Each structure stands twice: as C-alpha cells, then as structure tokens.
Structure 1
Amino acid sequence: MIDRRPIIMTARMGLDDFAWANGLRRRYFPPERNHIAAHITLFHHLPGHYADQVVQCAKAMAGQYAAPSAILSDLMKLGGGVAYRIESPALQTMRAEIAEQFHGLLTAQDQGRPRLHITVQNKVAAAIAKETYAELATHFMPRPLSITGLALHRYDGGPWEDMGEYGFRGKTVAAG
C-alpha cells in the first residue's frame, strides 16, 4: 500500500543551537500542544506517495552542498506566539532547487519563498505572546545559527514520524 501521508522537510540545527531552541520551546510552548521538537520547516507538505524521490533528493542535496551559513536575525510576532527569524540566502537557494524538483506537486503553502524561522511559542493568547516577545527581546542579539543537514518526517495529525536525517557533507557552497 502506498503511504500518502505528507512529508515534512526541515533543516537540522547544530546540537548547541538545537538544545537552546528546544529549551525555549519547552519553556514557552503550551505543553498540551508541544508534540514536536524545535525545528526549521523548509516544506510543510511534500507528496507522501513520492517518498523515494523525496529521500533521494534530500540525500543528494546533503551530499552536494556544504552546510549553509545562517543568522538568527530577529524575533517575529506570530499573533498567538513568538519565533526567531532566520536569514540564510544559501539555505533559501537550496530550498528553491528542491522546490523546482517537485514543481507541480507542491501545495500553495510550499510554492512561495518561506520566512525561515524557529517557533518557540504558538497558539497562546495574544497577551501571553506579547509578554514572551518582550521578555525574549530584552536578551536578543543577532547571531550565527548552525545548520547541519536536512531531515524528513511523516505527518499524520500529531507527533511526526522520523524518516531520516542527512548531514551536509558536500563541497559546493550554495549561492545566495
């Protein structure tokens, strides 16, 4: 039977950056809704019935490209939450290349250029989000963010099912 559950592609953070972001997510995200670890979504819904091609694409990208540079550039207000904005022209270039490979199969949400970010709080009252934003803003300074690879996950309405992680090990630096 063909597995049609959507595939989510994320960018993996370095261990220290992941521990920091996931700690913030555990602190600020409503626990009853926090079913997944901190992440950077590149695609929300790659077609599940093309799983072999999605895996091959992720492996090929990780094998070809060096880890992209990235910066935590700002805080973002999400209305009912807070996220950290990520600036990474090289990661955006890689993402555009992947999008081209799946042209005609992407959802509307995945067709445009994403605002890369790490969500640390979501689905809370606006007043709580405003307090969190103010608290995090007092300590925020832009800084480098380590991006180490790509990860794939199946989505079925709750926690994600891990499909694989692929570390960047190539020599090509993505233009950006």
Structure 2
Amino acid sequence: MDHAPLIVTLELHPMHQPFFNGLRKAHFPAHANYLDAHITLFHHLPSNEPCIYETLTVLSKQTPFTLKVNGLHRFENGVAYTLASDILQTLHQSMQEKWKAWLVWRDQQPLWPHITIQNKVTAFKSQQLHEKLGAAFVPFEVAAVGITTWLYLNGPWERVAYFPFTSQEKEIPTQNQQ
C-alpha cells in the first residue's frame, strides 16, 4: 500500500501567522494558494514510519525560540522572506541525522529557512513585489512554537500532528550530577 508523503513544518506563533498569510493572500495566485504561510523543514518523509513521530516528540521538549526575518529572496517566479536561527539549524541537523535512511535528495541539503509569500507568477510580477517589499524592509523577529506534520495529497495538505515546544524539559543529568 502506498502512503502519502509526510511534510514537516515549523509552526509560527499565532500572532505572527496573519502577517505572512495576508501577504500570501494578496500576492499568491488564488487558484494555487491553498496553504497558509509555512516554513518547510522536510518535504518527503514516509508517513508510516514511527521513528519520525518518536523523534519529534523528543525534540519538541525545548523552549520556543525566535527566528530573525533577515531579508527577502526573489526567485524566478516568486518572493520569500528569509529566516535565520542557529537553534533551528541545529534542530534540523538533528532530524537529518535521525532520519538519514529516509531522506530524499532535497531533504539531505542544508536547511534554507524561508516563508514563500508569492509563487507561480511571472518573473516581472515577482520582480515588482521584491522591489516593493524590499524598499521598506526592516529585519524583525518571529517566534517558533512547535513542529507540525502534514500528509501531502498531491496539492492540498492534511494536518497529521502538532508537537508544541515545551519549556518543561527535564534536565539530563551529566556524569557529575548522577
């Protein structure tokens, strides 16, 4: 039996989500905009692999953290906000190590965190939006509050599970503390 691929995204704090969703609604072609703004961590994992969910349960036992929205990136047919976070890079590398056996080529690459707000438009339209947003851009921060998994259904996504970051983590004793 074939299983739909699993997508893993970073969940933004609800107070930050409307800003990016609003930009997508304004600048993403309506016929192709069936997702909220998101930060994809992995594009294609096996949805029937328990290790993935076990890993996310363990890795979510950390404090929510901030990401710096540090710029805009224009690609041929769209625009995205670029993000920076050492914590996110470390978290992503941990997942890559745990899931190495299942990673497709794209998911083996270093993480380039971003939020796409426009895609599937002409190069001219993406250039216009990039210039408009770039003229007023000032770096800012957003909060990451968890990880969400989704089934990819050849277009739309179906939410599977949410792993909130918790600050209730237990300290792991070191050799000297035992």
Post-superposition CA distance 1:61-95 (Å, at most 9, x none): 112x2123210000001110000000011011001
**Alignment match of 1:77 (pick from 74, 78, 91):** 74
Post-superposition CA distance 1:41-73 (Å, at most 9, x none): 0000111231x222222121112x212321000
Instruction: Using structure 1 for the length normalisation, give the TM-score.
Output: 0.91
Instruction: Using structure 2 for the length normalisation, give the TM-score.
Output: 0.90
**Alignment match of 1:61 (pick from 36, 59, 70):** 59
What one-letter code is carried by the residue in structure 2 that aligns with 1:76? H
Q: Distance in 1 between matches of 2:33 and 2:121?
A: 12
What one-letter code is carried by the residue in structure 2 that aligns with 1:62? S
Query: Equivalent residue for 1:33?
Result: 32
What one-letter code is carried by the residue in structure 1 that aligns with 2:52? V
- 4+ residue runs over 6 A deviation: none
CA contact (8 A) 2:35 2:156 kept: yes
Q: Distance in 2 between matches of 1:149 and 1:81?
A: 26
Segments of structure 1 that go 5 or more residues without pairing to the other structure are none
Q: Distance in 1 between matches of 2:2 and 2:8?
A: 16
Q: Distance in 2 between matches of 1:120 and 1:157?
A: 20
Q: Secondary structure, in 3 states, of the residue corresponding to 2:82? A: strand
- Work out the number of aligned pairs and report it: 169
Q: Distance in 1 between matches of 2:47 and 2:84?
A: 28
**Alignment match of 1:155 (pick from 152, 155, 177):** 152
What one-letter code is carried by the residue in structure 1 that aligns with 2:127? K
Q: Say what the alpha-carbon RMSD is for the aligned residues.
A: 1.3
Post-superposition CA distance 1:124-171 (Å, at most 9, x none): 000000011111112211111111110000002111000011111044
Q: Secondary structure, in 3 states, of the residue corresponding to 1:16? A: coil
CA contact (8 A) 1:69 1:88 kept: yes
Specify the structure having the higher radius of gyration (Cα).
2
Larger proportion of strand: 2
CA contact (8 A) 1:4 1:49 kept: yes
**Alignment match of 2:129 (pick from 106, 115, 132):** 132
Q: Secondary structure, in 3 states, of the residue corresponding to 1:145? A: strand
CA contact (8 A) 1:3 1:48 kept: no
- Asked if 1:87 corresponds to 2:84, the answer is yes
Q: Secondary structure, in 3 states, of the residue corresponding to 2:162? A: strand
Q: Distance in 1 between matches of 2:34 and 2:52?
A: 24
Segments of structure 2 that go 5 or more residues without pairing to the other structure are 171-178
Query: Equivalent residue for 1:17?
Result: 16
Query: Equivalent residue for 2:175?
Result: none
What one-letter code is carried by the residue in structure 2 that aligns with 1:140? F
CA contact (8 A) 1:80 1:122 kept: yes
Q: Cα offset for 1:3?
A: 5.5
Identity %: 31
Query: Equivalent residue for 1:4?
Result: 3
